[in-house]
Amino acid sequence: MSTYLIGDIHGCYDELQAILEQVNFDSFMDTLWLTGDLVARGPRSLEVLRLIRKLGDSVRIVLGNHDLHLLAVYAGIVRNQLKDSTTLLLEAPDADDLMNWLRCQPVLQVDNQNKMVMAHAGITPQWNIDTALQCAREVEAVLRSDSYPILLNTMYEDMPNHHHWSEELSGLARLRFSTNVFTRMRYCFPNGQLDMICKDMPNKAPEPLRPWFTLPSLIAENYSIIFGHWASILGNATPEGIYGLDTGCCWGGELTLLCWEDKKFIRIPYAGIKHW
């Protein structure tokens, strides 16, 4: 019985298949954790979703910003873009089933036995595990309801006053903040306020911005945090116990798998045609 964690797949179905074959993944015995951004940019998002859904309870998923964007396209909030390579998925005969399955997936996974926490972008340093779980369940409840387009429509608003955390936050403001933390966050100000603009490498980020994972955390030290989202850092420069697994497969990089039991990494290079 093994626990495998894989970074952002982004529609790279062939690489996903290759890495699962390399570790002889057994859906009856093993557990697979996926850091989100299952779809978009890579060539075979439809096949990725079909495979992951078929694997059933052996998979633990979190939603990423590209997964939410796909749901927003499906809901008619934003237009489909050719660069996302999701047209075949949206036009598939099982598209409705796949989209309804996708929006019922969590934005946070916590394993108290293995002391693991996983979110696509990370956990704001202002939250402990209990607060993170509460905020996640609030977002997930809306995504699973008929009101999910309202949440998806607001996640594109980036006014600075949307980036402050307070226990008194409520309604759409609270949901928007939580969604930004779980799916889009990279940098914070020293007080924990989110910055939703900077995408530079950490050594080029303007003062006083800091990568979220370099600020003091309220997550217990015996828990590890697993995230994806930030392909440009290639999993580097994170403190001990924090694992960034997005290594930019769809951009011509690699798909990364971490075996939790022995902390060994396996990487499969992107084999497709590079369009970007």
Domains in the chain: ranges and CATH: 3-269 (3.60.21.10)
Burial of residue 17 (number of CB atoms within 10 Å: 0-12, 13-18, 19+): middle
Burial of residue 156 (number of CB atoms within 10 Å: 0-12, 13-18, 19+): exposed
Q: Which of 234, 273, 267, 230 is nearest to 250 (CA)?
A: 273
- Across the chain, what does the average pLDDT equal? 94
Mean pLDDT of 158-166: 69
Query: How far apart are alpha carbons 214 and 43 in whole angstroms?
Result: 34
Q: Please report, as a single letter, which amino acid is at residue 98.
A: L
- CA distances for 199 relative to 23, 44, 90, 217, 252, angstroms: 33, 26, 29, 21, 19
Ranges of beta strands (E only) in 31-108 are: 31-34, 59-61
Q: What is the pLDDT of residue 159?
A: 58
Cis previous bond, 208, omega within 30 = yes
Query: How far apart are alpha carbons 179 and 25 in whole angstroms?
Result: 31
Residues 181-202: pLDDT tens digits?
999 999 999 998 999 999 999 9
Q: What confidence tier does 155 reach under pLDDT thresholds 50, 70, 90?
A: confident
Q: Tokens 């402990």 belong to which residue?
A: 128
pLDDT at 275 over 60: no
Interacting residues of 174 by C-beta distance below 8 A, sequence separation 6+ = 135, 138
Interacting residues of 44 by C-beta distance below 8 A, sequence separation 6+ = 11, 12, 13, 14
pLDDT at 142 over 70: yes
Query: How far apart are alpha carbons 77 and 71 in whole angstroms?
Result: 9
Ordered strands of the 254-259 beta sheet: 59-61, 31-34, 3-6, 254-259, 264-269
pLDDT at 60 over 80: yes
Tokens of 140: 């997930």
Residue 189 DSSP code: -
Query: How far apart are alpha carbons 194 and 92 in whole angstroms?
Result: 37
Q: What is the pLDDT of residue 276?
A: 39
Interacting residues of 100 by C-beta distance below 8 A, sequence separation 6+ = none
